[in-house]
């Protein structure tokens, strides 16, 4: 897994074209243009998130993330997006994006097919906080733009699910032309499963034959470096949607038996319960701080059988009730 996030020069160029003071934005997060010049054109996840926050503050444009994501040019794509653009179908494109994105930056893209829907989400491995709003909007706008560019059709999502309070609903609905669902457990772009069969007019088998062997070799090396605990955390994050995240279900996701999973986690110095508690804790903090979901709804999404169990667990994690944590998170920062 790549540990740093590449910053394409075109991103800085587009910010300047919008008459934003790029130097001031960079200075706000302790960076300068020298940081973005070769050979250092990559940022840590924390620096990358801070940069997006600074861009939002400087621009004041609520749709900037959408515009930046939708306006990405094919010749500026990273290798994962390039492989996706030249796939045979939209479904294959999303598979390639999910498979190779981790080679580009510490971000995991996942696609879940269920009940006639293709649900696209992402997870930042090294993030200590939540992805900035503009980055989430831009990511989904970029995925949809890739789908439309490849198929040359106006692919329309079923809905967009956002783990945030209701804001900019009309703006988002105009861009995505679908239902925007707020206070969701995770951020997801939901496409109709039938759209996955749409052929890509940009399909290029010869280019893929040149590109994929090298990417697969890198992926094999990355797989040897990645820990089982990382894979379990991701599987748990994907299941934090109102079901009890049992070890049996997670083991099935990882194609191993529950006993093998427990044994290997023990050998790595951790346990399934410890990872479950950690993911629940981080998810609870995010949902309480960023959404208007009631504490009982948060408890349900995290797989607790009753509110009291969640309240006791949260008290142990944070030393305060969920309600107090939400009030403090909503208070203006000095």
For residue 28, being part of any structural domain is answered with no
Residues 149 and 87 in one domain: yes
Mean pLDDT score of the chain, rounded to an integer? Answer: 90
Residues 85 and 189 in one domain: yes
Maximal CA-CA distance, the chain: 58
For residue 50, being part of any structural domain is answered with no
Q: Going by C-beta distance under 8 Å and a sequence separation of 6 or more, which residues neighbour residue 313?
A: 277, 280, 281, 304
CA-closest candidate to residue 106, choices 83, 131, 138, 142:
131
Residues 66 and 193 in one domain: yes
pLDDT tens across 136-183, in order? 999 999 999 999 999 999 999 999 999 999 999 999 999 999 999 999
Residue 284, domain extent: 228-330
For residue 57, being part of any structural domain is answered with no
For residue 313, being part of any structural domain is answered with yes
Q: Could you give phi then psi for residue 294, rounded to 5 degrees? A: -65, 155
For residue 207, being part of any structural domain is answered with no
**Residue 39 pLDDT:** 57
pLDDT for 88 beyond 70: yes
CA-closest candidate to residue 164, choices 127, 203, 140, 132:
132
For residue 220, being part of any structural domain is answered with no
Residues 123 and 166 in one domain: yes
Task: Please answer whether residues 1 and 127 qualify as being in contact, where contact means their C-beta atoms are separated by less than 8 angstroms.
Answer: no
Choose the final residue of a domain: 156, 182, 197.
197
Q: Where are the alpha helices (DSSP H) in 29-119?
A: 45-59, 64-70, 79-85, 90-104
For residue 166, being part of any structural domain is answered with yes
Residues 169 and 260 in one domain: no
Residues 245 and 316 in one domain: yes
For helices 169-176 and 133-151, the axis angle rounded to 10 degrees is 20
* Confidence band, pLDDT 50/70/90 cuts, at residue 18: confident
How many structural domains does the chain have? 2
CA distance 75 to 204: 14
Task: Please answer whether residues 188 and 120 qualify as being in contact, where contact means their C-beta atoms are separated by less than 8 angstroms.
Answer: yes
pLDDT tens across 247-306, in order? 999 999 888 999 999 999 999 999 999 999 999 999 999 999 999 999 999 999 999 989
Choose the final residue of a domain: 176, 197, 218.
197
* Confidence band, pLDDT 50/70/90 cuts, at residue 40: low
Element housing 192 (H / E): strand 188-192
For residue 103, being part of any structural domain is answered with yes
Of all residues in the chain, the percent with pLDDT exceeding 90 is 66
| CATH code (residue 245) | 1.10.10.60
pTM of this prediction? 0.87
Two tokens at 244? 């009890």
The residues that bridge with 259 in the sheet, in sequence order, are none
Task: Please answer whether residues 254 and 230 qualify as being in contact, where contact means their C-beta atoms are separated by less than 8 angstroms.
Answer: no
**Residue 333 pLDDT:** 56
Neighbouring CB atoms inside 10 A of 287's CB total 25
**Residue 6 pLDDT:** 83
Find tokens 């706000």 and name the residue. 28
Q: Where are the alpha helices (DSSP H) in 71-225?
A: 79-85, 90-104, 133-151, 169-176, 205-225
**Is 326 in a helix, a strand, or coil?**
helix
CA distance 96 to 182: 28
The C-alpha angle with vertex 296 and arms to 191 and 187, in degrees rounded to 5, equals 25
Find tokens 């239902």 and name the residue. 179
Residues 125 and 183 in one domain: yes
Find tokens 């040897």 and name the residue. 224
Looking at residue 5, what DSSP letter applies?
A: E
Residues 299 and 193 in one domain: no
Task: Please answer whether residues 326 and 288 qualify as being in contact, where contact means their C-beta atoms are separated by less than 8 angstroms.
Answer: yes
pLDDT for 307 beyond 60: yes
């Amino acid at each position: 897994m790549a540990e740093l996030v590449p910053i394409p020069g075109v991103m800085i160029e587009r910010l300047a074209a919008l008459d934003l003071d790029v130097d001031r934005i960079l200075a706000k997060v302790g960076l300068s243009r020298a940081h973005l010049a070769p050979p250092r054109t990559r940022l840590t996840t924390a620096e990358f998130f801070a940069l997006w926050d600074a861009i939002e503050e400087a621009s004041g444009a609520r749709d900037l993330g959408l515009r930046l994501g939708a306006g990405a040019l094919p010749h500026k794509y990273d290798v994962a997006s390039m492989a996706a653009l030249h796939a045979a179908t939209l479904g294959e494109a999303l598979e390639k994006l999910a498979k190779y994105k981790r080679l580009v930056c510490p971000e995991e893209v996942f696609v879940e097919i269920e009940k006639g829907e293709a649900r696209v989400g992402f997870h930042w491995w090294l993030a200590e906080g939540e992805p900035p709003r503009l980055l989430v909007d831009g990511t989904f706008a970029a995925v949809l733009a890739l789908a439309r560019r490849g198929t040359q059709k106006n692919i329309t999502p079923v809905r967009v699910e956002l783990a945030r309070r209701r804001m900019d609903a009309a703006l988002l609905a105009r861009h995505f032309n679908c239902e925007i669902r707020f206070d969701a457990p995770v951020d997801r772009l939901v496409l109709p499963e039938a759209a996955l069969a749409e052929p890509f007019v940009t399909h290029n088998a010869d280019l893929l034959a040149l590109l994929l062997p090298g990417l697969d070799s890198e992926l094999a090396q990355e797989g040897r470096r990645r820990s089982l605990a990382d894979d379990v955390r991701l599987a748990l994050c994907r299941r934090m949607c109102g079901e009890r995240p049992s070890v049996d279900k997670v083991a099935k996701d990882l194609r191993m038996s529950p006993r093998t999973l427990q044994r290997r986690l023990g050998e790595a110095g951790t346990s399934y319960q410890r990872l479950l508690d950690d993911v629940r804790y981080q998810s609870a903090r995010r949902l309480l701080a960023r959404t208007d979901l009631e504490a009982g709804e948060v408890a349900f999404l995290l797989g607790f059988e009753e509110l009291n169990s969640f309240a006791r667990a949260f008290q142990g994690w944070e030393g305060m009730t969920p309600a107090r944590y939400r009030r403090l998170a909503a208070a203006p920062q000095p």
